[in-house]
Amino acid sequence: MAKSKAKPENSIARNKKAWHDYFIEEEFEAGLALQGWEVKSLREGGAQLK
């Protein structure tokens, strides 16, 4: 049986520690104005949320 492809996530970064340590009742989106090199770095996996 063929495996179904994973649905790509739209977010660039996620606070994994918060999702592990706390019960999240509600989500909201926030935005930042980034320059080109910052966007490229985030998409390559260079984000850290603490």
The model's pTM is 0.39
Q: Tell me, what's the pLDDT at 16? A: 80
**pLDDT tens-digit map of 1-50:** 566 555 555 666 777 888 889 898 988 887 778 888 888 887 887 776 66
Q: Are 49 and 14 in contact (CB under 8 A)?
A: yes
Q: Tell me, what's the pLDDT at 37? A: 83
Radius of gyration of the chain (CA): 14
Q: Tell me, what's the pLDDT at 17? A: 83
16-38 burial, b at 16+ Cβ within 10 Å, e below that, comes to eeeeeeeeeeeeeeeeeeeeeee
Task: Copy the structure tokens of residue 11.
Answer: 């977010």
